[in-house]
Amino acid sequence: MTGDTTIHEPPMRAGEVEMMLFALERSRAQFAWKVGGLDGAALRRPHPPSAMTLGGLLKHLTRVEDQRTDLDLLGRPISPPWDSAPDEEWEWISAADDDPGELYARWRVAVERSRKAWAEALADGGLDRLSAHTYGNGARPNLRRVLCDLHDEYARHTGHADLMREAIDGLVGEDPPQ
C-alpha cells in the first residue's frame, strides 16, 4: 500500500489553515488510493500519447514534497537524491528502474517529513510567514502560496493518476472507500 487513504473531515466551520491542510491531505489520500497496491509492471506502464507512468507520478510527487519541505519550510538545500538529479525529467524516467516498494516507501517518508515541517512552520508564523527560500526571480512567497502550490501539484497529478488507474484495472471513484 502506498499510504493512508483515510480522509479526516474537518469541522464544517474550520479555519483557513485547517481547511487548506485538509484539502492537501484529501488529495494525498486520493493519490495514495489511485497509485496504491500496484506491481512494477503497472507502475511502469505508459499511457500514450503521454510517456507518463504512475511510478513517475509517485517519484515526481516525492520530489515535490521534498523540495517544498527543504527549500520553503526548512530553508536548506534540496536533499538527496534530488540534489544530484541530472535534469528536471530524471524522476519521471528513472522511476522505471525503481522497486515499487522503494517508490512507495520514499513517498510515505517524504509526506511524513512534510507534515512535520508544515506543523512546525505554521505554528511559527502561520500562513503569512514568508517562505525560507527566495526564488530566482526575487520572489519570496508566503506559506499560504506554497501550500496552495503543493496542493495544486497533487490535484493536477491525482487527475492523471485517476485516468491511468482506470486504464490499468478499472478502479474508479473520487475518494477512497472509508
What are 66-104's pLDDT values in tens digits? 999 999 999 999 999 999 999 889 999 999 999 999 999
Residue 57: per-residue pLDDT: 97
What are 31-52's pLDDT values in tens digits? 999 999 999 999 999 999 999 9
Residue 15: per-residue pLDDT: 96
- In CATH, 19-169 is 3.90.1150.10: no
SS3 content of the chain, % helix, strand, coil (to 5): 60, 0, 35
Residue 88: per-residue pLDDT: 85
Residue 1: per-residue pLDDT: 57
Q: Are 71 and 178 in contact (CB under 8 A)?
A: no
Query: Terminus-to-terminus CA distance in the chain, angstroms?
Result: 15
Overall average pLDDT of the 110-129 stretch: 96
- pTM for the model stands at 0.95
What are 129-165's pLDDT values in tens digits? 999 999 999 999 999 999 999 999 999 999 999 999 9
